[in-house]
Amino acid sequence: MKETVAEMEDMHYEGTCIRPPSEALSILLQVTLGCSHNKCTFCGTYLDKPHFRIKDDDIILSDIMFASKYMKRQNRVFLMDGDAIIIPYDKLMWILDRIREHLPWVKRVGAYAHAKGINSKTPEQLENLRKNGLGIIYLGVESGDDQTLKDIKKGTTAQHLIDMGKRVMDAGIKLSVTVLLGIAGKERSLEHARATGKLLTAMDPDYVGALTLMLVPGTELYEDYVNGKFEMPTERGLLIELREMIANTDMSRGMFFSNHASNYLPLKIRFPGGKENALQLIDRALKGEIGLRPEWARAL
């Protein structure tokens, strides 16, 4: 979600700033610019930041000090931009040390991660980061289908994503993953849904957020759509894809959300007990018995 930061002009924000919906009330600390991968065909988030870099220590410390004066009512910190976990271990520990020193009321630090960022940290390093305040990592999975991951230039495989997700949780850090409805297009919709359900089952994360693909001008996938090389599933097709994904997901615990503004049917499912009720709800929506979010109300 885009964040309005005009009133925070003493914080050194640059370009578009995004954070997960669950971090809406967090202190937003921009420690990197852009995404270390920044090749995904669907993502337009960092078009204004093509060159990834890690911010200087003095800028980061200045922002922490600003937060220490003016953000005493916010007890969480979210590290922006796209992949703060790629920051070298010693510097990431330094950032967490400064947060603990100057923002002692903060109870949790969160960050987005790419698989290669997680892979750059040993299990012991991740455990130390957790002990120093890193409480949750948000991992963009998008799909469990290797062909789809290749097509969207995700730079990883389903098995590698599973392994990295488990590495995070083994360190005691909460894991929230994002999957994308529609990302495989109309042709591979069901293959993507089934494979993603199997990935979620194998990974068994704490939270899953399902978003629906929104085609963004300026991205490679948008150009494919304009040129007829990519076809989005229909509204009904997306509901069927969501149903197939949930039907193939057997997590032992955790929450599955599809309540993001991009989705047609908001769901909040606690696994494993809530799965069947969710499938019945989708079936009712497919029969037209439940209204869907109108097109004008959908957004990134």
DSSP secondary structure, 35-59, as one string: -SS---TT--TTTT--S-EEPPHHH
CA distance 202 to 164: 12
Q: What's the domain range around 81?
A: 20-290
Q: Is residue 238 part of a domain?
A: yes
Q: Is residue 35 part of a domain?
A: yes
Q: Is residue 295 part of a domain?
A: no
In our burial notation (b when 16+ CB lie closer than 10 A, e otherwise), range 117-153 reads bbbbbeeeebbbbbebbbbbbbbbbbbbbeebbebbe
CA atoms lying within 13 Å on the CB side of residue 130: 19
CA proximity to 255, closest of 267, 245, 269: 269
Strands 207-212 and 174-181: parallel
Residues 6+ apart with CB under 8 A from 241: 181, 182, 189, 190, 192, 193, 233
Q: Is residue 183 part of a domain?
A: yes
CATH assignment of the domain containing 62 = 3.20.20.70
The pTM assigned to this predicted structure is 0.93
Asked if residue 113 lies in contact with residue 139, where contact means CB atoms within 8 angstroms, the answer is yes
Strands 53-54 and 134-142: unpaired
Query: At which residue do the structure tokens 């002990």 appear?
Result: 131
Q: Is residue 298 part of a domain?
A: no
CA atoms lying within 13 Å on the CB side of residue 84: 28
* Identity at 124, one-letter amino acid code: E
Query: What is the DSSP-derived secondary structure letter of residue 2?
Result: B
Sheet holding 27-30, edge to edge: 27-30, 76-80, 108-113, 134-142, 174-181, 207-212, 255-257, 268-270
Q: Is residue 101 part of a domain?
A: yes
* pLDDT tens sequence across 185-222: 999 999 999 999 999 999 999 999 999 999 999 999 99
Residues found in the chain? 300
Q: Is residue 300 part of a domain?
A: no
- Total structural domains in the chain? 1
pLDDT at 9: 56
| Residue stretches of the chain with pLDDT short of 50 | 1-8
Q: Is residue 218 part of a domain?
A: yes
Asked if residue 252 lies in contact with residue 271, where contact means CB atoms within 8 angstroms, the answer is yes
